[in-house]
């Protein structure tokens, strides 16, 4: 993470209503009422409340590149835009107001759907977090929305009193409270920004499909890289430990090529079973609980390794590996509940009560068998 990126995002860490980036050197042209903006600001539009930045409805190369990096968990926690009001196209007093979060990936996925539209975008300060997660946390919430309406002077910018809020924002926003406190009526729009043109064309009516959250293969593979990157360090430590331990034998300490590298490969495969294979095969793996699905992914991983001969030909070691891989993969897949779109807190708690002790027991048994493989050699 370089210094520059830290500076540009200093607004995301604090709930301060005023932008703190003002000391930063930037072309004065882009310094508008609410702070400093990136290249996506293409101009300004005059309103009763002063100039409002106008943003492009297309993503440029840098937006796409940075977005891809964020998907790979690079700079993901520092990717935000300054909260406030923005314009797309040439909006006037009657134009629609779309509410969103200040996570730049979210902001970009919204504005790229607004081609040939005149609209206002009201960006809430969610500290760089997407709408749904921020709504769950309450930062994309009634208070923030009401305050942001006040602060931007929205009442003087538009003559109507309607806001289009993404449906997933409903977890944090109470429509009737917003109306009481600000006079604005909240209309819940579609879950996905890509449905906005169709939603507007249908006179702001959502279809059942627009209201449903999905978690299809593409969705799951999109969130998998972040999952993979998060435990990478721990995985590498385990690899290293297994590499060192594999040298121990009753005949003395021996590191040999390629046999000493097999345990490292086994750990890596187990890791990918829980972070990539299980997420990819999620609906097809047996069981409803994620830990069980992860255990099955571990079985698949073990089967591949066994066929390739990477778990060795000794019975104790092989069973040891099977249990270790199942335990590891199961735990990692349990963590994937956080990235999924349909697990409940009560469900996760219920699952964990059984899963965590089982995972510990299975892994411990696997470790014991693996260690006993040092002393006992039983081959098939």
Partner 1 sequence: MRKDYYLKNVTTLTLDKNKCTGCGMCKTVCPHAVFEIIDRKAEIIDRDACMECGACSKNCAFGALMVKSGVGCAQAVIQGILKGKEPTCGCSSDTPGQTPGKANVCCG
Residues at the interface with partner 1 (CB under 8 A): 1, 12-16, 70, 76-78, 103, 105, 126-130, 132-137, 139, 167-168, 170-176, 188, 191, 206, 208-209, 211-215, 226, 230, 282-283, 288-290, 334-335, 337-352
Which residue number, 210 or 322, has a Cβ lying nearer to partner 1? 210
Which residue number, 188 or 321, has a Cβ lying nearer to partner 1? 188
Beta carbon of residue 342, minimum distance to partner 1 (angstroms, whole number): 5
At 18, list the tokens.
Answer: 């005023």
Beta carbon of residue 80, minimum distance to partner 1 (angstroms, whole number): 9
Which residue number, 44 or 181, has a Cβ lying nearer to partner 1? 181
Rounded Cα distance between 172 and 164, Å, is 14
176 to 126, 141, 170, 181, 375: CA distances (angstroms): 21, 13, 11, 9, 70
242-249 own/partner pairs: CB under 8 Å, 24+ apart: 242/266, 242/267, 248/374, 249/374
Residues 6+ apart with CB under 8 A from 314: 373, 377, 378, 379
Rounded Cα distance between 56 and 64, Å, is 13
> What is the number of other CB atoms lying within 10 angstroms of the CB of residue 249?
12
Which residue number, 21 or 157, has a Cβ lying nearer to partner 1? 21
At 237, list the tokens.
Answer: 């430590």
Beta carbon of residue 217, minimum distance to partner 1 (angstroms, whole number): 11
Beta carbon of residue 356, minimum distance to partner 1 (angstroms, whole number): 8
- Do 20 and 9 form a contact (C-beta atoms < 8 A)? no
Q: Which residue has the tokens 């260690």?
A: 371
Beta carbon of residue 119, minimum distance to partner 1 (angstroms, whole number): 21
Which residue number, 318 or 337, has a Cβ lying nearer to partner 1? 337
Which residue number, 245 or 352, has a Cβ lying nearer to partner 1? 352
Beta carbon of residue 121, minimum distance to partner 1 (angstroms, whole number): 20
Which residue number, 127 or 317, has a Cβ lying nearer to partner 1? 127
| Residue of 357, 150, 321 lying closest to 245 (CA atoms) | 321
236-243 own/partner pairs: CB under 8 Å, 24+ apart: 238/267, 238/328, 239/263, 239/264, 239/267, 239/268, 242/266, 242/267
Beta carbon of residue 46, minimum distance to partner 1 (angstroms, whole number): 34
């Amino acid at each position: 993470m370089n210094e520059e990126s830290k500076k540009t995002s200093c607004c995301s860490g604090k709930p301060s209503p005023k932008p703190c980036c003002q000391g930063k050197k930037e072309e004065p042209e882009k310094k508008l009422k609410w702070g400093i903006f990136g290249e996506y600001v293409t101009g300004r539009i005059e309103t009763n409340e002063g100039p409002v930045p106008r943003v492009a409805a297309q993503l440029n190369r840098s937006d796409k590149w940075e977005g891809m990096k964020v998907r790979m968990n690079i700079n993901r926690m520092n990717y935000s835009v300054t909260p406030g009001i923005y314009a797309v196209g040439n909006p006037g007093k009657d134009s629609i107001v779309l509410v969103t979060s200040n996570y730049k990936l979210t902001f970009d996925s919204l504005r790229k759907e607004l081609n040939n539209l005149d609209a206002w975008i009201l960006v809430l300060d969610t500290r760089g977090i997407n709408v749904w997660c921020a709504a769950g946390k309450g930062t994309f919430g009634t208070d923030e929305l009401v305050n942001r309406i006040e602060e931007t002077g929205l009442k003087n910018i538009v003559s109507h009193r309607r806001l289009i809020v993404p449906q997933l924002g409903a977890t944090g926003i109470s429509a009737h409270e917003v109306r009481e406190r600000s006079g604005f009526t909240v209309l819940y729009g579609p879950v996905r920004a890509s449905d906005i043109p169709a939603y507007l064309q249908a006179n702001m009516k959502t279809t059942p499909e627009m209201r449903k959250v999905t978690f299809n293969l593409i969705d799951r593979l999109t969130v998998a890289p972040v999952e993979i990157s998060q435990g990478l360090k721990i995985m590498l430590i385990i690899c290293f430990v297994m590499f060192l331990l594999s040298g121990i034998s009753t005949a003395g300490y021996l590191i040999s090529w390629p046999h000493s590298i097999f345990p490292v490969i086994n750990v890596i495969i187990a890791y990918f079973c829980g972070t990539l294979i299980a997420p990819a095969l999620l609906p097809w793996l047996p069981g409803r609980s994620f830990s069980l699905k992860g255990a099955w992914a571990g079985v698949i991983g073990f089967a591949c390794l066994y066929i390739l001969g990477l778990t060795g030909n000794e019975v104790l070691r092989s069973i040891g590996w099977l249990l270790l891989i199942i335990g590891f993969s199961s735990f990692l897949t349990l963590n994937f509940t956080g990235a999924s779109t349909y697990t409940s807190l009560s469900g996760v708690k219920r699952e964990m009560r059984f899963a965590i002790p089982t995972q510990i027991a299975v892994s411990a048994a696997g470790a014991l068998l693996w260690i006993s493989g040092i002393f006992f050699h039983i081959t098939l």
